[in-house]
Chains A and B, each alone.
Chain A
């Protein structure tokens, strides 16, 4: 099955005062879709402390929080476009903070066989204009249409 972005897992104008709130709210989306269990937010927050995932790309400052959880079956991503940026530590340098505007909350099932979603995301992180367009789009459906269009182009 081909990976597709779904509007149920995209939140535009996400309001959060900090990374904890943002992560919790995106995990709620994943939970509603049955992708993760209740305790996933805690696992992700804990891991984010130890191994931060903030990343400054050319298009936007992003973060891709995730945790290892063997109960996760398939790979999913919940996307949050923040109304106001929240702070994440930089993956490249833990002592540095980044004001993150887009969060890709990953739930990765056995990654070695499920590289497809990760490859798509890695390509997307390098698409400067696409990330900027995401910031200016306020509909989950419109974002999914744009991203799925991008996925098709790559295939």
Chain B
């Protein structure tokens, strides 16, 4: 079971959009997962105990868990690249 945290400013709008997309991809790839949605400031509560952190904006802070920027799922720009990186982190 892969644990993934998806965060945005308020843990409300953009993270919901990205979460929906990420879950669809993982289901399609047959990867068992659990997603958590939160605000950027709440990421600290999960850091280190999850397999991946996806944020809708680029964060400069360093985390222990791998971090990806998920805005590509909103814009459609470089989406395949982010998916490839995500799968590499989760399956690697």
Chain A contact residues, CB within 8 Å of chain B = 47, 50-53, 55-58, 64, 66-68, 91-94, 106, 108, 111-112, 115, 118-119, 121-122, 125-126, 128
B71 in contact with A122 (CB, 8 Å):
no
> Contact check: which of A50, A68, A119, A122 meets B12 at CB < 8 Å?
A68
A51 to B11 Cα, complex, angstroms: 11
Contacting residues, chain A, for B57 (C-beta < 8 A): 51-52, 91-94
B74 within 8 A of A: yes
A51 to B9 Cα, complex, angstroms: 6
Measured as residues with beta carbon below 8 angstroms from the partner, the interface class of chain B is 20 to 34
Tell me the smallest distance from the CB of A154 to a CB of chain B, in Å: 13
Given known pairs A91-B71, A92-B71, A93-B58, the reply for A111 and B9 (CB within 8 Å) is: no
Q: A66-B12, A112-B16, A122-B21 are in contact. List 5 more A-B contacts (CB 8 A).
A: A58-B75, A58-B76, A66-B10, A118-B16, A119-B17
B69 within 8 A of A: yes
A25 to B58 Cα, complex, angstroms: 29
Contacting residues, chain B, for A122 (C-beta < 8 A): 17, 20-21, 73-74
- Please, could you name 21 A-B residue pairs with CB atoms under 8 Å apart, sorted by A? A47-B9, A51-B8, A51-B40, A52-B57, A55-B71, A57-B76, A57-B77, A58-B75, A58-B76, A58-B77, A91-B71, A91-B74, A92-B58, A94-B58, A108-B13, A112-B16, A122-B74, A125-B74, A125-B75, A125-B76, A128-B76
Q: Is the interface of B mostly helix, strand, loop or mixed?
A: mixed
> Contact check: which of B17, B37, B69 meets A118 at CB < 8 Å?
B17
Tell me the smallest distance from the CB of A149 to a CB of chain B, in Å: 20
Contacting residues, chain A, for B58 (C-beta < 8 A): 92-94
A111 in contact with B12 (CB, 8 Å):
yes
Contacting residues, chain A, for B16 (C-beta < 8 A): 111-112, 115, 118
Q: Which residues of chain B in 1-25 are interfacial with respect to chain A, using CB atoms and an 8 Å cutoff?
A: 8-10, 12-14, 16-17, 20-21
A52 to B16 Cα, complex, angstroms: 17
Task: Give B57's nearest chain A residue, CB to CB.
Answer: A91
Tell me the smallest distance from the CB of B78 to a CB of chain A, in Å: 10
> Contact check: which of B8, B10, B37, B40 meets A67 at CB < 8 Å?
B10
